[in-house]
Amino acid sequence: MYGKQKLKQIAENVLKFSKADQTEVLLSVSGNSLTRFANNEIHQNMAWQNLGISVRVILGKKIGVASTNSFDESSLKHVVERAAELASFQEDDPNFESLPEPLKYKTVEQDIAFATEEELARGVFTVIQKAKAAHFTASGAYANDVSEIAVANSLGIFAYHAGSSCNLSTIVIGKNSSGFAADVARTAKEVDAETVAKTAVNKTQESADPADIEPGEYEVILEPQAVSEMMAFFQWYGPNARIYHEKSSYLSDKMGQKVFGDNITLIDDPFHDLVFPMPFDYEGHPKRKIVFVEKGVLKEIAYDSYYAKRYGAENTGHALPAPNTLGPIPLHMYIEPGNMSREQMIKKVKKGLLVTRLWYVRVLNPKALNITGMTRDGTFLIEDGKIVKPVKNLRFNQSIPDALNNVVSIENKLTQLASFEGELIGLAPTLHIAKWQFSSGTLF
C-alpha cells in the first residue's frame, strides 16, 4: 500500500514533467494473495504486488498513452516523454475535445483488510475437510486483493480510492457430479467457509448420477451465478455508447422504447450496499446510480468523456483505462429484484431445468445479442414444481433479449458474485424464464 499522499506525489511529479496541452495519470496499486487448491490439497500459493503508472498525453487533438511500473524520477520522465512522442506521431482525432474537468465525487470510507497466508489456508482447509468427509475432492481458490487507484489530470482532477476483498470459491467433484459455491466479503473473518463447503458438497450429492435429457426448449430457473454469466455480455454489448452509436447494439435507435419485458429494470449502482463501491471512473469522473432500463423501457446508456462530448450527452462516469477501444462499460449493473423466493419460483415451473452456472459463454452475434454456452456444476430437471433429478449438461443457443422478454418471475433478493479475482462484485437474482433454447447435450 502506498497511500493517498504518496500516490498524489507521484501523480504530481508526472504532471510536472509534462509540457503537453493536457495530461492524465492513472496509478493502480495491487497487493494480492491467492491460495489455490485441487485434489484436496493446496497446489498453488502465491502473492504479488505492483504499481502500474499509465500516462495519457494530449497535444491539441492528438493522443498518446505510455505506461510503466517504475516510479523513480527518470522512469516517470521517460514515460511522459514516450506518451508525448506517440501523440506527436498522430493525426488529429477530430472527435476529441478534452479530458474531463474536476467534479466532486462521493468519498467512501476506506476499509482495507489484509488476510494472512494462514487465514487463507485455514479457509481452504475447511472446504477440503468437508469434501473429504463426503468422499469428494475439492478444488478452488481463496483470494485476498488489496487495491488502490488514483487518477489525476492537468485540469485539476485528483481522485483516490482504496479497497479490498476476500473471495473463496470452490468446485467439489464427485464420481460423476460436481457442485459450485462461493462467498465474498471485505475480510477473511466475514467469509463463511463452512457454508461454502456445505453448499458445494450438497450440490455435488444432489447432482450425482445425472440422467440423459433431450435438448430442446425448456422453462429455466437460472440461479444468480448463471444470470450474471448471461448478463456479462449485455454489459459489454448493450448500453455502451460506442456500440450504440455505431448502430451495432441491440439497443441502437431504441431510446425510450420498450426493449424488455415490463418486469425488467436494469440498474447500475456503484454505491449499492452489497457491492464494493467505486466512486469514480478511470478518468476520475464521479460515478452515480443510473437506471438503464426501467420497466422494460430503455432510459439511458453509458458514456465516458469522449463519447459524451462527441454525442452531446452527459458523461455518466463509465470510462475504462485509456486507451479504451471497447467503449464505456457499466461495471455495477444488476436486475432489480422481484417479489418471490427461489423456492416459490421453482414451484411455478411445470417442466423445466434448474441451472446452477453457465460456462464458456460466447456471443454469436453482438447486435442480436445471442449467445452460446454450456451448463455446469449442477443442472436439474423440475417437474410440477419439484426438482426431480439431476441431468447431464447441455449446450444452449439463446438470445438475451428473448430471455429478458420472457421472464416469468424474479427472486426477491440479490446475491453477491465476485468477479474472477474478487476486485468487483456483481449482483444478481434468480430468474424464472419461460423459454430457453438447449441445442445439444454432452457426455457428462
Partner 1 sequence: MLKQAEEILSKVPSQVDYADVRIVQQDSEDIATKDGVVEALESSSSQGYNIRILKNGVWGFAASHDMSETGIDATIKKALTITEASLKHKTTDVCLDDWEAVKGTYKTPIKEDPFQVPMEEKLQLLIEADKAQRVSDKIVVSQASYQANRERKYFAATNGSRIDQEIIWTGAGIEASAVEGTEFQNRSYPNSFRGQNQTRGFELVRELDLVQHAPQVGQEAVNLLTADICPSGEFDLILDSNQLALQIHESCGHAVELDRALGYEASYAGTSFLTPEKLFEFQYGSPIVNLTADATVPGGLGTFGYDDEGVPAQRTYLVKNGIFEDYITSRDTVTKLHEINKQYNRKSNGTVRASSWSRLPMIRMTNINLEPGGEDGTGKAWKLDELIADTEYGIFMSTNRSWSIDDKRYNFQFGTEIAWEIKNGTLGRMLKNPTYQGITPQFWNSCDAICGRDEWTVWGTPNCGKGQPSQVMYTGHGASPARFRNVKIGVVKW
One-letter identity of residue 140: G
- In the numeric block, which cell numbers belong to residue 122? 485455514
Report how far residue 150's alpha carbon sits from residue 141's, in angstroms, rounded to the nearest whole number.
Answer: 28
Buried/exposed code over 385-423 (b: 16+ C-beta within 10 A; e: otherwise): eeeeebbbbbbbebbbbbbbbbbbbbbeebbbbbbeebb
Residues 183-242 that bind partner 1 (CB under 8 A): none
Rule CB under 8 A: is residue 69 a binding residue for partner 1?
yes
Which residue lies nearer to partner 1 by CB, 146 or 267?
146
Binding-site member from 113, 155, 361, 387 for partner 1 (CB under 8 A): 361
* One residue of 40, 177, 235, 379 binding partner 1 per CB under 8 A: 40
Binding span for partner 1 by CB under 8 A among 91-99, 186-194, 278-286, 307-315: 91-99
State which residue, 9 or 248, has the beta carbon closest to partner 1: 248
* Residues pairing with 50 in the sheet: 30
- Is 87 a residue that touches partner 1 (CB under 8 A)? yes
| Residue showing cell 486483493 | 145
Smallest distance from the beta carbon of 68 to partner 1, in angstroms? Answer: 5
Under rule CB under 8 A, residue 246 binds partner 1: yes
Dihedral (C-alpha) 365, 367, 372, 373: value to the nearest 10 degrees?
A: 120
| 257 binds partner 1 per the rule CB under 8 A | no
According to CB under 8 A, which residues from 125 to 164 bind partner 1? 125, 128, 137, 139-141, 143
- What is the distance, to the nearest Å, from the Cα of residue 281 to the centroid of all Cα atoms in its chain? 15
Using rule CB under 8 A, residue 67 touches partner 1:
yes
- Shortest Cβ distance from residue 54 to partner 1 (Å)? 8
Q: Does 339 bind partner 1 (CB under 8 A)?
A: no
What is the C-alpha separation between 325 and 436, in angstroms, rounded?
32
Q: Which residues contact 348 (CB under 8 A, 6 or more apart)?
A: 340, 385, 408, 409, 432
Residues in 368-387 at the binding interface with partner 1, rule: CB under 8 A: 368, 370, 372-374, 376
Stretch that binds partner 1, among 39-47, 98-106, 256-264, 277-285 (CB under 8 A): 39-47
Q: Binding residue for partner 1 (CB under 8 A) from 12, 47, 73, 383? A: 47
Helix or strand (DSSP H, E) at 204: helix 193-206
Q: 439497443: which residue's cell? A: 251
Least distance CB 141 / partner 1 (angstroms)? 5
Q: Report d(CA 382, CA 210) in Å as an integer.
A: 13
298 binds partner 1 (CB under 8 A): no
Q: Are 218 and 438 in contact (CB under 8 A)?
A: yes
